[in-house]
Structures are given as C-alpha cells and as structure tokens.
Structure 1
Amino acid sequence: MSDSQSGPVPNESQKSKGFLSWVERTGNRLPDPVFIFFYLILFLVLISVLAQLFGLTAEHPVKVNADGSPVIIKSASLISAENIQRLWVEMPKTFTHFHPLGYVLVVMLGAGVAERSGLFASGIRQAVRGAPKFLLTPVVALVAMLSNHAADAGYVVMIPLAAILFATVGRHPMAGIAAAFAGVSGGFSANVSPGQLDALLFGITEAAVDGAGIDPSWTMNIAGNWYFIAALMFIYLPVIWFVTDKIIEPRLGKWVPDERQALEYGGEDKPLTKEQSKGLRRAGLAILAVCALWAAMTFGPGTPLLNDGPGTEGQDWYVTATPFFRSLVAGFMVLFLAAGWAYGSAAGSIKNHRDLVDMMAEAMKDMGYYLVLAFAAAHFVAMFNWSNLGLITAVHGADGIRSSGLPLPIALGLIVLFTGLLNLFVGSASAKWALLAPVLVPMLMLLGISPEGATAAYRVGDGATNIITPLMVYFPLILVFARRWQKDFGLGSLTAMMIPYSVWLLITGVILMVVWIAFGLDLGPGAPISYSLPG
C-alpha cells in the first residue's frame, strides 16, 4: 500500500492511556511467536526437571496394569538421555508428522489458485454489489464471514469495498469498515462450511489427542465443528447488524464526502467485466462437478469413501463415514483448485497450465513463515508430550474442576473468556491453539467434553477479541483503510469503534457454547459434544 504512512499517527495520550494501550505496549514487547515457542521449550525443560525431581505423578484415566491397578503417569525430564536422543534423532519426523502441516499445505494448494486467479475477489464483489440499502449491513457482514474461506482476500478486498458501498448509498464509510472487519475477523470461525481454518485447528487437536494417549481410536474430522460454526454465523449476523446500525453508525454521525473522496474512490466499485462474470459461472459449474464427484465416491458403486465392507454391520453411521470426513481436506483442495482454474481460464488470469502451476508455487511461498512457526510448534507439542506434563496437568485440572463443583458449561465458558484474553497478547490462531491444546483437549475429555467441543470453545474466544488487539497482523492495514476516509482516525479510534462488537460477539458466543453443552447437541456430523472414556 503506497499510502500506508499517510494521515496522522495516534497522539501521545492515545498511546499512553487506557487498558488497550497497555495491551498494545505489552504485546509489542513480546517476541515473534516462533521465539515464544523457543523460550517456552526452554521453560518446559526446566519444569520437566523440577517435576521429575519432586515426583509429580497422576493416575492414567484409562490404562490399567495386568493386576487391575491403575497405571501411574510419571513426569519425565527432557534432559534425560532418552529424550535428548529422541529430540535430535526424530527431529525430521517430529516436524513432518506434525498433523496441521500436511492438512494446511494440501488445502492451500487449491486455495492459492482460487485467490490468485481472482475468483475470491470477484466473488466477494459480486455478492455485495446491488444489496438494498436497508440490507446492506447484514449482506456485508454475511459475505465478510464467508470470505474467511478466501484467506487474505477477506481483509484486502472486502473491508475497503464495504466502505465504498456504504458511501455510495450515503451511509458512513467507517460503519462499512466496522461491519466488514467484525465479520472477517470477529466472525473468524463462523461460516457455512469447514475450510482452511478447520484443517489447521483440528490438526493441532489431533496432535493433542495423540500425545495424551487417552483415546487412540479418535480420528480427526475436518467437519467436526460444522454445525456449530454455521450456528455461530447465524448468531453473529444479527449481532453485527444491530451493533453497526444502532450503536456504531449513530455514534459516527452523518458522513459528508468531500470532492477528493468522490473523485479518488468513486471508480473502485466498478461492475464485473463480461469475462469475470463468465468466470464466476464456470467456477460455479466446477464446484457442482466436484461435489458430484465426491457424492459418487461416497454413494456410488464400491463406495470407496465409506467403511461398509465385511465386518462393519451395526457400527455407528459416523464410523462408517470416517473415510469421507477424512477425505474432505483433499476435497476442499480439489474444489478450490477446480473453481479457481475454471474462473481463471474464462477471466484471462490463467492462460495455460504453467500459470496454474505458478499460482500453486506462489501459494507455497506464502506459507514460508507458517513452516517456520510449525517447526517450532511441532517441537513444543512433542516435547510437552514426552515430559508427560500435558496429561498430568489435564488429570489434575479435571479433578480440580470436579472438586470445585463448578458446572461444566460455566467452566467451559470461563475457558472461552481466557482464550479471548490470551488473544490480546498472542495474535496467531495456530500458535495459541498449539499452546493450549495439549492441556485443554485431554482435560476436557476427562470432564466429558469431546476434542471437537474443546476446539469449538477455543474458536469462540479466539475470534471475538481479534478486532480489538493491535497485535492482530491486519490491524495496521485496517487503520490505513480507515484513514482514506477520515485522516484523523487513530489507533484508539479504531479500537473504540470495535469494542462493542467484541463484547457482544464474546457474550453471544459464550451463551451459544453453554447452550450447546446444556442440550448435548452434535457439533458436526459424527462429532458429539459429549465424550466418554474408552472402556
């Protein structure tokens, strides 16, 4: 962005006063998440030595000895000869077998083509153009939440476009920015279907379950939060609508454009070209074709995506459908790839197969930082498991919650709030879940909450406070978009504008989580929120 330095900077009073300014200063002093994991590994080594020295143990919740006595989990020092050898000998395996790594890279191969071909940007523009004035806010919020499948395009395309759309109908463009930002970032986990984020988070969840050793039979299901995130979207939609129209826009007052704004931004909301419209139609057909292909492999001759061979009679339907659920990672890759290729070939952004390969390669280049972060996170998670501290902490934490008499829905609600607070200091969704999952997932399993339930609770807390922390990577970019319309708009102004959204998204998200537990609803196909220890 050429104008990233334009406009005034926040004054000294904005920088030095208030809780959120303290959060900004404190968070800015934190090192990069990669080094946070490095320091945590050093701290983990120290704790493991002390835990072994003091004989920290716990009874295994599932395993028993041959004589029926419980297996005692003993803490293990990470500087023992065995663990030092494991660290250096298994380093390639520790990295490459980190579950989220493969899932995310596979999905991004397709999503990168869909983004670079222009499919996501054109789809977003087409979805919000021409919305009636009174429905503009909910349409913007809905498309913003759906645009999370488009990764960066949701921030880069949707937010500035929303400002233009609001200005076009005489509404305050800052209200458009607020509504879109709340949808893209506050509603980060809300959507009509699983996507890249599900592959990332459930990969970390799977690593936590495997490390705890509580239930070897549990398998990762990318659709494990499907029902919940769809419900979250329909809960968040009226919340964002209400906050925008009844709280934010009245506070902003009437917007009066100047001549410069009319000239500079008047042409950005141009209709799609004939080629782009044709590309969207072809992309739609490609999506239908991929869905038909997966349906044929699920219900057609041979049913390769169902466990319906000999010896499978009487098993639960979701066990039968396990291959289908696990194939969805590849399914989303093929869907994005086919739709992006179909769009690009019609719109002119993909002229031949070399362009397609180049887009896939560029997508992998963008994942460079994630690979470095995944290397650090993989070793933290693995070493946490080697020390046995994760399972020991989970067992004692579960016992503590039971003895406190705190109702489980309330306890889970507090976990959501804690996640939201942590989000103010650590911006990366994958980094936070890699830190929390080794303890929270097995602890909640011991309390009767499934791994899918733990993941859903984390997602509620993670999304709601994204929009008020300056440590969120796109926060400065949103400030740049805002200053295009209001030059004196500072960091404090943006934070204050987004706080009502954050509060209401967090409140409604916690309520939904508590209600979900109280009624014992499934979080997705084959993903009950309740959990029972095997045996």
Structure 2
Amino acid sequence: MKMKQKKGIFDKFLDGVEVVGNKLPHPMTIFVMLSLIVIAVSAICSKLGVSVDYTGINRKTFEIGEIHLKAKSLLSPEGIRYAFNSMTTNFTSFAPLGTVLVAIIGVGVADGSGLIHACLRKLVLSTSPKLLTAVLVFAGIMSNIASDAGYVVLVPLGAVIFMSVGRHPLAGIAAAFAGVSGGFSANLLIGTLDPLLGGISTEAARIFIPDYVVLPTANWYFMVASTFLITFLGTYITEKIVEPRLGKYKGSHKEELGEIGGLEKKGLKRAGISLVIYLIIVLAVTVPENAIFRENGSITNFMRNGLLPGIMFFFMIPGYFYGKTVGTIKTDKDLVKLIGNALGGMGGYMALVFAAAQFIKYFSYTNLGTILAVRGADALEAIGFTGFPLIVGFVVVSAFLNLFMGSASAKWAIMAPVFIPMFMKLGFTPEFTQAMYRIGDSSTNIISPLMSYFAFIVAYAQKYDEDSGIGTLISTMLPYSLCFLFAWLLLLMVWYFAGLPIGPGVATTMQMAL
C-alpha cells in the first residue's frame, strides 16, 4: 500500500491560501465588491480631507512639479456622475481588452486552421522533455519585447504545450505567466519600457545633478543576468513545487500528439514561407531610416501601438496558408468562422473585465492608489536605513505598492522624484535605484489582482479547471513571487558588493561613476 506523502508547512500554507481564496465569490463578484469598497473608502477619505503633497513627474512631458493631491469621493455629485458616465468607456478603453481581442483574431485563425497544433507537436517532438519548461519560461521573459503579447499568446500556449505531453495545463499557464509577468524586468534585449523608465529617472536625477541622463540601456547587464536567473528559478519552481502540488490533470480537455503527416508538412512549409515574406515586409517598413513606420526617425510609436496588429497578422497569415493547404480553410466564410469562434469564446473574460475595469478606474479616479504610494515612499524615507538594508527596504516597499498600483511607469513617476535624489545623496546611482525598483515591481506582478491581465489569466485557468479561482492562481504563483524576490535581492547584493556595472558604463555607486 502506497503511503500518502506528508505535506510540509509551506504546502499547507499554499493549500490554505487556495482554500480561502476559492471560497470567495466569483472573481467578477469580487471586483464588484472591491469597487463598492473603493466607493465607500473614497467617501470617508474625502470627508476626512486625506491628501498628499509630493514632487511628481508628468509622464508625457517629463516635467517636474509640486503636486497636491486630495482623495476624491465617488459619492459626491461629481463622483456619481463619473461612475455612471464613465462605465462604458472604462470597459472599452481598458487596455488589455483591446490587446486580447486583437491578438485573439490572429491566434484564432492559426489555432482553428490547425497550424498551432501542428507547430506544438513539432516543438514537443523535437524538444527534450527536460528542456520544455525552461524553454517556456525563457520564451515568456523574451516575449516582453513585444509589449503585452506574451500574456495573450504564450500563456494560453503554455497550457496546451504542457497538456500535449501529459502534464498539468495549469502548470503550463503558471510557467509561462511567471516568465512573462514575473520576469518583466529581465530580458536579453532592450524593450519599450526601458526608455520610458529611463526618461522618468533622468528627470528625477536632474533634481540633484542638472545634466544627468539615464539611458534606456541603464539596467541592461543586470537584466541579462536576471534572464538566466529567472529562467532557472521558474523552471525549478514549476517542476519541483507547482506540478507536484497540482498533481495529475483530471479535466476533460485533451491534447494528443501524433506524427506529422505529408499534407501537414506541406502546410507547415507554405506557412513558413508566407511568414518569412511577411517578416521581410515588416523589416522593410520599420528598419530603414525613411521607413513608413518611422516617425521622425523613431519606431517607438510602432512598437507601442502598431506592434499588436503586426502580431495579429504574424499568426493570421501563416494560419491562412496552412488552412488552405490542409483544407481547414476553403473559402472566406471559413476564415470568418474561425475568427468568430475565437472571439465567441471570450465572453466570460469580457464579463470579468467589465467589473475589473470599473474597480481599477475607480481606484485611479479617487487617487487612493497614488496616496498610498506616496505615503509608503514617505514611510521608507523616514526609516533612515543606510547601505544594503535600505536597498532591501526599498525593493520590498516597491513590491508591496505594486499590489495596489499596477502601472510600472505610473508608480515610478511618483517614486522616482522622492527616491532617486535621496539615494544619490546616499551614494547610489539613479540607474541602480531604478534596478531596485524594477525588481520589486516585477516580483509581485503575478500575485496582484490589480495587474491588468490577472483577470484574463484567472478566466483562462478556469477553462481547464472550473473549480479554480483567484485563490488557485495566487497560491500557485506565490512560490514564484517569493523566490524571485529573494533570489533577485541576492543577485543585487552580489552586484552591489562586487561593484559590477549594471549597464554599459553604469556603476552602482556615485563614487564609482565619478
């Protein structure tokens, strides 16, 4: 008789988190309740005159100014008008909604035609099972170059990839999510967030040194090292903690692998040719100095706004040619049907997003998130730590504030003018302070319900396990969050005490920089 393995304290803790979390109402109901709480708290804070004064940076103009911010009530006449008049636009302007729906059009064609299934079979059959988790986590980290595409493309694929080799799909979702979101500040390349944070850091640094410049490559060396660290940790946690805890998958969804037939090989070849031609066209309209998508010589706008449609066609074009070859797409009606089926499956997600969007927008309108961030920054400044304990304290506070204010750039616009000058006076370079912030911000992305794509991940997990909920996701992702935070701090400690450059020509301390 097989003895039942005794659970450790940490496993029992995670089980408790899951049980408590899943006993909560449906995620949509939770967001409605949270919205009501924000309404009530905003009224109380407004009545009490809660406010903050801080030096802030305008994220559009990068101008520094003194800001006086008061809590705004949603129960005032103005607040009530806002709550009702903005309800529709809160939903339609919710950034992840458009991102998901646009991307799903292309992914739906590639999936419905059978291309994704064929590619996954080829990937699984040609990749060692020992490397599958590492490849998925690493791909998640690298997907951040394409803005938010990793959330809507790679996380769902993670479930399918794991299920196709008999592994739990929720473990695949967790591994991909850990790479995409937990590894948000790790990469081998410079992404769209780097120049944005660098611009904010530059203006904050000029409070202390007028001509200081923080380049987009400010944290590059540290990011490269972090990529390998997060890939290793994400792989280890998935295989040693998450999968054993989830156990064997007993759901109804199945993915079976089989050899790729002759017609499928022909379809893959045509899909590959069409994709190469498409990529050549994309390079032609983005790379040359006078390219169509360059505005004043820059492709920043394309990277921020045009990349997503580009990703949609990245999947749609080869999906169409594959479908025409194997017979899954015969007419335009078949193509439209595949798109309709893909969008039709997003109904539950859109219902959840409607409630989540109201909560997040209300939280922003009332200024409660900003007030909490500023008060937290003030508290850390008042502690008076020095040296590495101060670094740890700042990273932890950044991680904590990320649970209440999702946007990395919005938080940094508030925190940078406070902490960059303060840390410069204590001897830390602005680039090093920015690296500290990014560690805390990334580590708790995967357990924060305020993270924009959290609702999407919950909804997608329920596709494979109807009993899963917010508690399941948080308890599954908590080991990643804690380990990433701890290991990143250790890496930062090595960097700090060894005096290693965190980017090209960028030191950790002002003395070394000078």
TM-score normalised by the chain length of structure 2:
0.64
- In terms of mean alpha carbon deviation, does 271-280 or 138-147 score higher? 138-147
Q: 1:508 to 1:341 in 2, by over 3 A?
A: farther
Alpha-carbon displacement from aligned partner over 1:81-125 (angstroms, at most 9, x marks no partner):
111112222322232222222222212211222222222222122
Alpha-carbon displacement from aligned partner over 1:59-96 (angstroms, at most 9, x marks no partner):
242489xxx99442222221111111122223222322
1:187 aligns with 2:172: no
> 1: CA distance between counterparts of 2:358 and 2:76?
16
- Give % identity: 27
- 1:342 alignment partner AA: F
Residue 138 of structure 1 deviates from its aligned partner by: 1.6
Matches within 5 A, 1:342-491: 342-405=321-384, 409-411=391-393, 413-414=395-396, 440=411, 442-446=413-417, 447-448=419-420, 457-463=440-446, 474=461, 477=464
| Residue 92 of structure 1: aligned partner | 88
* SS of residue matched to 1:350: coil
Q: Any gaps of 5 or more consecutive residues in structure 2?
A: 59-63, 141-149, 201-217, 246-253, 421-429, 450-456, 505-514
Which of 158, 163, 178 lines up with 1:160 in the alignment?
A: 163
* SS of residue matched to 1:18: helix
- 2:327 alignment partner AA: G
Q: 1:231 to 1:92 in 2, by over 3 A?
A: farther
Q: 1:178 to 1:321 in 2, by over 3 A?
A: closer
Alpha-carbon displacement from aligned partner over 1:257-287 (angstroms, at most 9, x marks no partner):
xxxxxxxx9x944211122222222232233
Contact 2:110 2:116 in 1 (8 A): yes
Contact 1:59 1:70 in 2 (8 A): yes
Matches within 5 A, 1:274-353: 274-300=262-288, 302-308=290-296, 320-326=298-304, 327-353=306-332
Q: 1:56 to 1:69 in 2, by over 3 A?
A: same
> 2: CA distance between counterparts of 1:179 and 1:404?
40
Residue 26 of structure 1 deviates from its aligned partner by: 0.6
| Residue 423 of structure 2: aligned partner | none
Residue 381 of structure 1 deviates from its aligned partner by: 2.4
Contact 1:144 1:154 in 2 (8 A): no
- 2:104 alignment partner AA: M
Alpha-carbon displacement from aligned partner over 1:8-52 (angstroms, at most 9, x marks no partner):
xx99999xx932332222112112222222111111122112212
- 1:152 alignment partner AA: P
> 2: CA distance between counterparts of 1:353 and 1:452?
50
- Please provide the CA RMSD for this pair: 5.2
> 2: CA distance between counterparts of 1:53 and 1:499?
37
Contact 2:173 2:461 in 1 (8 A): no
> 2: CA distance between counterparts of 1:472 and 1:512?
34
Contact 1:40 1:380 in 2 (8 A): yes
For this pair of structures, how many residues does the alignment match? 419
Matches within 5 A, 1:31-110: 31-62=25-56, 70-110=66-106
Contact 2:219 2:502 in 1 (8 A): no
| Residue 13 of structure 2: aligned partner | 19
* SS of residue matched to 2:285: helix
Matches within 5 A, 1:237-276: 237-239=231-233, 268-276=256-264
- 1:160 alignment partner AA: M
Q: 1:291 to 1:325 in 2, by over 3 A?
A: same
Q: 1:160 to 1:75 in 2, by over 3 A?
A: closer
Contact 1:48 1:76 in 2 (8 A): yes
> 2: CA distance between counterparts of 1:451 and 1:372?
37
> 1: CA distance between counterparts of 2:284 and 2:343?
30
Alpha-carbon displacement from aligned partner over 1:501-522 (angstroms, at most 9, x marks no partner):
7875564455567889997858
Q: Any gaps of 5 or more consecutive residues in structure 1?
A: 1-9, 164-173, 210-223, 253-264, 310-319, 423-431, 481-491, 524-535
Which of 30, 40, 47 lines up with 2:24 in the alignment?
A: 30
* SS of residue matched to 1:333: helix
Contact 1:137 1:179 in 2 (8 A): no
Contact 2:324 2:330 in 1 (8 A): yes
* SS of residue matched to 2:164: helix
Q: 1:452 to 1:334 in 2, by over 3 A?
A: farther
